[in-house]
Amino acid sequence: MTTQDKQGLFALGGNLDRLIWQTDLAGLPAWRSGPLVALRMAAAIARDLTKGQLTLWAMSLVYTTLLSLVPLLAISFSILKGFGVHNQIEPMLLSLLEPMGEKGVEISERIVEFVDNVKVGVLGSLGFAMLFYTVISLMQKIERAFNTVWHVSQARSIGQRFRDYLSVLVIGPALVFAAVGIGASIASLSIVGTLSAIEPLGSLINFAGKLIPFLMISAAFSFMYAFIPNTNVEPRAAISGGLAAGLMWNLLGWIFASFVVGSAKYTAIYSTFATLMFFMIWLYVGWLILLIGANIAFYVQHPAYLRGQGGRQRLSHRAREKLALTLITLIAQHHYRDLNPWSAEALSQELRIRNDPVRDVLDVLEQGKLIKATADRPPTYLPARPFEIATADDVLAAIRHGGNGGDLSYDRIPGPAGIDQVLHEFEAAISAALARKTVKQMALTHGKDGPPDV
């Protein structure tokens, strides 16, 4: 490749970078902004996969699934026995393991045998507690993985876990098997067979027969994206992630099925271990699809995270101070206008910036006794003390002295004589300038047209 060719490729790459990342999407029509958003999301997903966090979570979930699968199905079997639909466990496993072909049939039969041999009623209190804990540990790990994708640091409380996980264990299997039963019942109706012989109704029914399983899988993914993360997930984000995961499930299932069909040489090498190997690979692919769909749902709801390196965003001290004054001013504006209190997510969307720096600064302001979080889900923020006496200097002092500073504190930094005096004079000058500028004055000064520019 000549030097001129390399220069041409660099120029093309620079033009593509400017087109994808530097184009302002606000004034573009949907047919132009849509492909650019898709390219940004594809680049962000590739970036996250390259960093390896999603793949590590997927591998961890494979191991936990191997330990928890039989206990999970045993508990579901006991619950579903009361509904009279426990015989649908094997058809559901067959549908999930369909890409594995004959090996999927073999694994389904073995799992059902294990489930039949688990007698929940004779395990005793300790045995049942261990069985239940194994299932809960799987669900807890799934929640941690989703919280990592959604940049949520706080997990559910013990009471919330017990309530939410129990509802999934009881209601989830009943809904899944009810959907499977409804689909089978509709397919067995004689009128469906009659209409299938009439065109174009036959083609439509055939298309619906392929579309309904895709929609069911997508709905299951969407339900998990909306329910499992410990944050408020918008319906459009959950549905977008669910549809993308459903497409990946069908596409990768077809690719994996083709791989299994042509895997005679692997069977010859690994012998009886080949079935287990393929099962673990498909589990890994399935969990990876689930996590990538969660990533897509996150980026749909938080497009600000598409830029950068995808990790936590670090702000300069000056940016943190401006963000703190902006956030407390917005909270005060809603307080004095009797509007609904702000949540962290609503504030980040209002300012069109990432959620994690907003949460970090809100936590520091809460530690400084300037605001307090409500018990709502998600929490909203109210004044912790009257904003008539809280000053701008109090806000800046909370940012300077609060937060998690790590192991190296201010007092442990050695310095030449006079450094502390310089800093004290600096802080005294700020206090003198801002001591009479209250938060209420800042809130009322900006009027009703919106927040200050950030």
| 383 pLDDT more than 80 | yes
**Averaged pLDDT score across all residues of the chain:** 77
Q: What is the pLDDT of residues 121-146, one digit of tens each?
A: 555 566 667 777 777 888 888 889 99
How much of the chain, in percent, has pLDDT values that exceed 70? 68
The band of 164, judged by pLDDT with boundaries at 50, 70 and 90, is confident
Domains and CATH numbers, the chain: 52-306 (no CATH), 317-445 (1.10.10.10)
pLDDT recorded at residue 115: 67
pLDDT recorded at residue 453: 43
CA 249 centroid distance within chain: 18
Virtual torsion, Cα 157, 163, 168, 171, nearest 10 deg: -170
- Top mean-pLDDT range of 101-105, 147-151, 446-450: 147-151
Residue 149: which of 228, 60, 236 has the closest Cα?
Answer: 228
Q: State whether the Cα torsion 263-266-271-277 is positive or negative.
A: negative
| Residue 75 · residue 120 · CB < 8 Å | yes
Q: Is 95 exposed, middle or buried (0-12, 13-18, 19+ CB in 10 A)?
A: middle
170-184 average pLDDT score: 58
Virtual torsion, Cα 235, 236, 241, 243, nearest 10 deg: 100
| 15 pLDDT more than 70 | no
- For residue 381, list its beta bridge partners: 342, 373
The band of 322, judged by pLDDT with boundaries at 50, 70 and 90, is very high
Q: Which amino acid is at 429?
A: A
Q: Is 176 exposed, middle or buried (0-12, 13-18, 19+ CB in 10 A)?
A: middle
Q: Is the pLDDT higher at 43 or at 297?
A: 297
Residue 183: which of 299, 57, 308, 95 has the closest Cα?
Answer: 95
